[in-house]
Amino acid sequence: MRPEALNSLFVEVEALEGVGPKLRKPLEKLGLTRIRDLAYHLPDRFVERRAITNLDEAGIGENVIVALTVREHRSPSGRGPFRIIAEDVAGNICTVTYFGRASYTGKKQLPVGETRWVAGRIDQYGQMLQIVHPEHVSEDSAAPVGQLCEAVYPLSEGLTQGRAAALVAQAIKGLPDLPEWIEPGLIAKTGWPIWREALVEAHRGVNGPARDRLAYDELFANALALMLVRESNRSQRGTPLAGDGSLRAKLKLPFALTGAQARSIGEIEGDLAQPSPMLRLLQGDVGSGKTVVALTSMLIAVEAGAQAALLAPTEILARQHYETLSRMLQGTGVEIALLTGRDKGKAREAILMGLLGGTIQIVVGTHAIFQDSVAYKNLALVVIDEQHRFGVGQRLMLARKGRRTPHTLAMTATPIPRTLTLAQYGEMEVSKLDELPPGRQAIDTRVVAVERMDDVVGALSRHIESGQQAYWVCPMVNESETDDLAAAEARYAALKERFGDTVALVHGQLRPEVKDAAMERFARGEAKLLVATTVIEVGVDVPNSTLMVIEQAERFGLAQLHQLRGRVGRGSGKSTCLLLRGNQLSETGRQRLALMRETQDGFRLAEEDLQLRGGGELLGTRQSGDTPFRIASLEQITKLLPLAHDDARLLIERDGGLSGPRGDAARLLLYLFERDWGVQLLRSG
């Protein structure tokens, strides 16, 4: 149960004045559904304005507040704008200009003969100064202050700056006082304000300490929750799994394991034999061979008489995993099943019976495999592919499926930097596949200006004629971004005109059946060219596809480009990756593309990515889920996460955890950042 002290923060935004059904959607789009969310809706930046009396003091492009007296209204002749001629105290003329419907507002706010404070940006218009659509107009008064520094909030369609500011102000006004959860020594050292003040200050102006404190709170909540998970895990009983090797011996692999694979399997085998449940992360670049490590681990469980489950983030991937594993398991006698949300009726019933009765030993699926209606006879190992797509909380739900806590192996193909590993996984044990299987060829990576589109299509055409397949990736910030979706559809249409029915399309807004059908056509080789958004980023494996074109490559982060490129170079043939770049390339954009050409080492690219990030020019920097944080920036993560981590450890190991003197405050924090799975786990464990 959420502590009462937080109740007022978790009230729905509808309770605020001026929030009706019309604002709901724009707010929801920004994730702002409760007072708490609004309070934490921090400004992107601030506009600084200078109050001036004489326009001669203003520079062109400067944001100012100035008192202007209105001389004349000039209605447009034809389709021109509405202009208001005004002057300052010194008689300098300034035009205040309005386009379209805004003219009515202007007319009302700036009546002829009156003096008003006008806030806006000074531009030059011919020989005259002008302010277009002033941001504020207010009655003449002695003090224009209060608007000198104004927050600029992230917006969505239907939410204006003024509205956002007003709502945030309401949310901030009623903030409760909360006890301090940060270690007193750290507060003393940093001089950070208390929580409530930090929130107020962060909306008021650029304030490093306030922003840092808020970021720290978030990082601390996360570190603490993860550490509670680990603690609880240690105290829990699992099933020690010792296989006799009989099934593993029946696996007929067409290759020898790499050293890294053998080492990782050894580490996992060691964990599985323990009575406390495993919590291990398998980190390995695309193509490093995680599948066989997962399969071997699951076979150990089956040898020991238990069941294993493999959880994939999407249906496409679940299906692909299922097919790969089924093929590898031929001749072993192991029963494997696929369960996704699409299975209905009799087929689904049969799988559920098999899981309950234990005749199905390995199940592969999407989150459907841990719905309430799915019961297992003896689930002892859960393998999660692409763990970062799921919250840790979800993983725990899954973990409760067995009577005893199952062992967990999380696999990620994203070689994230070390700091982020800690942020996302806490102190999980890590196995690294830092060695690619032998015989892989380097992917020939080139940067091509978008003007050379015709050449690219020509090369694509020769490629397809030679019997090979290709990917064409279009950027999409998130699946609801209509512009990007339209661009992808348009590209698909254009390529289809050229290449006919051999072109397939997948993107996140297609129905799963349609998406799967397209993928299957491509996997079977019927489709030669797959036009896709980043949904192909993880997992898809078509070795005959040896060319990848990435449009607007500069909009992607390095890590994401690397993930995408990993889709080619999977067979023995030579592979090529063409990075199409637009003609407005920023310096970091240029550096990123250069790095892509230079190296294929995922761990290195991940570190460089972190260095180059920032500025928000990238696809999905905020919403990509590559950090689990909403407040803390990448810089703050790097700077503050180690502190938060140490503090969490101190709290648990020295200060009595949630039952010690700081415990109540820490519990508030966990609920505040919705890391309460940490608390709940502690109770049930």
- Interacting residues with ligand ADP (CB under 6 A): 255, 257-258, 261, 284, 286-292, 413, 437, 541
Cα–Cα distance, 292 to 281 (Å, whole number): 15
The CA–CA distances, whole Å, from 20 to 120, 155, 568 equal 30, 17, 50
Buried b (16+ CB within 10 A) or exposed e, 59-91: eeeebbbbbbbbeebeeeeeeebbbbbbebeee
Task: Tell me how crowded residue 454 is: count the other CB atoms within 10 A of its CB.
Answer: 8
Token pair for 359: 């005749």
Q: Decide if 41 contacts 153 (C-beta within 8 A).
A: yes
What are the strands, taking DSSP E only, across 439-485? Answer: 444-449, 469-473
Q: Minimum CB separation from ligand ADP for residue 537, in Å?
A: 12
**Closer Cβ to ligand ADP, 399 or 413, answer by number:** 413
Cα–Cα distance, 530 to 523 (Å, whole number): 10
**Closer Cβ to ligand ADP, 85 or 257, answer by number:** 257
- According to DSSP, the β-strands at 115-125 and 63-74 are antiparallel
**Closer Cβ to ligand ADP, 437 or 663, answer by number:** 437
Q: Minimum CB separation from ligand ADP for residue 256, in Å?
A: 6
Q: Minimum CB separation from ligand ADP for residue 439, in Å?
A: 7
Q: Minimum CB separation from ligand ADP for residue 404, in Å?
A: 28
User: Which residues does 483 contact at the CB level (< 8 Å), separation at least 6?
Assistant: none
Q: Minimum CB separation from ligand ADP for residue 265, in Å?
A: 11
Q: Minimum CB separation from ligand ADP for residue 653, in Å?
A: 36
DSSP character string of 599-631: ---HHHHHHHHHHH--TT-STTTTTS-SSS-SS
In one letter, which amino acid is 11? V
**Closer Cβ to ligand ADP, 285 or 609, answer by number:** 285
**Closer Cβ to ligand ADP, 37 or 626, answer by number:** 626
Cα–Cα distance, 300 to 242 (Å, whole number): 7
Q: Minimum CB separation from ligand ADP for residue 409, in Å?
A: 13
Find the distance separating the first CA and the last CA of the chain, reported in whole Å. Answer: 16
Q: Minimum CB separation from ligand ADP for residue 391, in Å?
A: 22
Rg (C-alpha) for the chain, rounded Å, is 29
Q: Minimum CB separation from ligand ADP for residue 514, in Å?
A: 25
**Closer Cβ to ligand ADP, 558 or 637, answer by number:** 558
Q: Minimum CB separation from ligand ADP for residue 413, in Å?
A: 5
**Closer Cβ to ligand ADP, 280 or 645, answer by number:** 280
Q: Minimum CB separation from ligand ADP for residue 313, in Å?
A: 13
**Closer Cβ to ligand ADP, 291 or 552, answer by number:** 291
CA dihedral 155, 610, 488, 462 (to 10 degrees): 170
Token pair for 430: 């890590």
**Closer Cβ to ligand ADP, 320 or 408, answer by number:** 320
Q: Of 629, 172, 285, which is closest to residue 424 (Cα–Cα)?
A: 629
- What's 57-107 look like in SS3? HCCCCCEEEEEEEEEEEECCCCCCCEEEEEECCCCCEEEEEECCCHHHHHH
In terms of Cβ atoms closer than 10 Å to its own Cβ (0-12, 13-18, 19+), residue 608 is: buried
Task: Tell me how crowded residue 465 is: count the other CB atoms within 10 A of its CB.
Answer: 9
Q: Minimum CB separation from ligand ADP for residue 322, in Å?
A: 13
**Closer Cβ to ligand ADP, 291 or 297, answer by number:** 291
**Closer Cβ to ligand ADP, 257 or 447, answer by number:** 257
**Closer Cβ to ligand ADP, 258 or 405, answer by number:** 258
What backbone phi and psi angles, to 5 degrees, belong to 6? -95, -5
Residue 123's DSSP bridge partners are 130
Q: Decide if 441 contacts 569 (C-beta within 8 A).
A: yes
**Closer Cβ to ligand ADP, 209 or 437, answer by number:** 437
Place of tokens 């703050």: 636
Q: Minimum CB separation from ligand ADP for residue 325, in Å?
A: 10
- According to DSSP, the β-strands at 469-473 and 82-87 are unpaired
